[in-house]
């Protein structure tokens, strides 16, 4: 990154998350800006924001006139919703946000791209959701976006499981209300086989994390997909690979979104 490219006219983009040390969005976003000859006009910086400080940080960002927007990651995707001035229809539907744009008058507008990014990432690897039997672990912001996207793209069935069962039930009810033709259930994984089993929790980021799904589910699933970005090969994926399951890392989901995120933040 050439310091000479950063000037007083540079517009700042951010990644709001905690932790941020493992984050890939800054490197991927800046690489795309450089490819397009737009690095220097914009720069994407990591911003480590603890959960309790999110409101104060957003209040400050509203006042920074050359702040253009930010990618939003764990643990802020759902809590940020009530702190913004406006949500796109997609963000209202999933009740989560993963990118924010600042308008010229300091208003903050949020949208949700995780779901479409996940499906696009699968398609880039030659995998389709239409007609698939899916299991989703998680009920937070990322999981919510993915659940709605799976239903929108025609999955045959969707099982949602989460450590807090009430959250899984709530998400399942919302998706069912929007897509009544999709077979949706919540709770423990069923005894049947899955075409795609997805980890949409943060489990796997740390070496000592428990597995987000049982070995039995891994054995009964054709494809194991991750949303964790770092490490790229989580313990879940290593186990699935050792059992000759197809695997899909979290990186294609982010890669599919980077261009959309930059556009939403005002990078033409």
Q: What is the pLDDT of residues 96-147, one digit of tens each?
A: 999 999 999 999 999 999 999 999 999 999 999 999 999 999 999 999 999 9
In which band, very low, low, confident or very high, does the pLDDT at 268 lie, cut at 50, 70 and 90? confident
Instruction: Please list the residues that pair with 15 across neighbouring strands.
Output: 46, 71
The catalytically annotated residue of 11, 76, 77, 153 is 77
Q: Give the span between the Cα atoms of 99 and 88, in whole angstroms.
A: 11
- What the block records as the tokens of 63 is 């006042």
Length of the chain: 268
Q: What are phi and psi of 72, to 5 degrees?
A: -120, 125
In this prediction, residue 192 carries a pLDDT of 84
Q: Which residues, at least 6 apart from 215, have a Cβ–Cβ distance to it below 8 Å?
A: 239
CA end-to-end span of the chain: 21
**Domain(s) of CATH 3.40.50.720: residues in the chain:** 115-253
**Mean pLDDT in residue range 2-26:** 90
Q: What is the mean pLDDT of residues 42-70?
A: 97
Residue 227's pLDDT is 96
Give the right CATH number for 115-253 from 3.30.379.10, 1.10.260.40, 3.40.50.720, 3.30.70.330.
3.40.50.720
Other CB atoms within a 10 A radius of the CB of residue 187 amount to 13
Which residues, in sequence order, are CB contacts of 221 under 8 Å at separation 6+? 135, 193, 194, 195, 196, 197, 240, 245
Indicate whether 188 pLDDT > 90: no
DSSP-derived letter for residue 117 is H
> What is the average pLDDT value for the chain, to the nearest integer?
95
Does the pLDDT value for residue 2 go beyond 60? no
Confidence (pLDDT) at 191: 79
% of the chain with per-residue pLDDT over 90: 95
Q: How far apart are CA 231 and CA 240, in angstroms?
A: 15
| Residue 216 in this model has a pLDDT that exceeds 50 | yes
Enter the CATH code of domain 3-113+254-264. Answer: 3.40.50.10860
Q: What is the pLDDT of residue 4?
A: 57
- The pTM for the full model equals 0.90
Maximum C-alpha span of the chain: 60
Name 49's Cβ contacts closer than 8 Å, sequence gap at least 6: 16, 17, 18, 57, 76
Residues of the chain with CATH 3.40.50.10860: 3-113+254-264
Q: pLDDT band at residue 1, thresholds of 50, 70 and 90?
A: very low
Q: Using CB atoms within 10 A of its CB, is residue 146 exposed (0-12), middle (13-18) or buried (19+)?
A: buried
77 is catalytic: yes
Residue 190: its pLDDT value, please? 75
């Amino acid at each position: 990154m050439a310091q000479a490219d950063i000037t007083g006219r540079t517009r700042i983009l951010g990644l709001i998350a905690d932790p941020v040390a493992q984050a890939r969005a800054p490197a991927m976003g800046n690489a795309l800006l450089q490819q397009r000859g737009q690095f220097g006009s914009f720069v994407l910086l990591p911003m480590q924001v603890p959960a309790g400080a999110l409101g104060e940080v957003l209040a400050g960002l509203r006042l920074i006139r050359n702040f253009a927007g930010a990618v939003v990651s764990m643990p802020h995707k759902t809590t940020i919703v009530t702190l913004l001035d406006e949500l796109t229809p997609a963000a209202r539907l999933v009740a989560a946000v993963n990118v924010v744009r600042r308008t010229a008058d300091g208003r903050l507008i949020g949208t949700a791209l995780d779901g479409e990014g996940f499906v696009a990432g699968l398609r880039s690897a030659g995998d389709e959701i239409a007609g698939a039997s899916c299991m989703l672990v998680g009920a937070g912001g990322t999981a919510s976006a993915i659940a709605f996207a799976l239903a929108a793209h025609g999955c045959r069935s969707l099982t949602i499981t989460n450590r807090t069962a009430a959250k899984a039930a709530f998400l399942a009810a919302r998706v069912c209300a929007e897509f009544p033709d999709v077979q949706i259930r919540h709770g423990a994984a069923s005894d049947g086989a899955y075409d795609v089993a997805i980890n949409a929790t943060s489990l796997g980021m740390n070496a000592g994390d428990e597995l987000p799904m049982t070995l039995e589910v891994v054995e009964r699933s054709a494809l194991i997909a991750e949303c964790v970005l770092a490490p790229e090969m989580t313990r879940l994926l290593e186990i699935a690979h050792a059992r000759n399951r197809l695997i899909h890392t979290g990186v294609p989901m982010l890669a599919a979104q980077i261009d959309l995120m930059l556009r939403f933040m005002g990078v033409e």
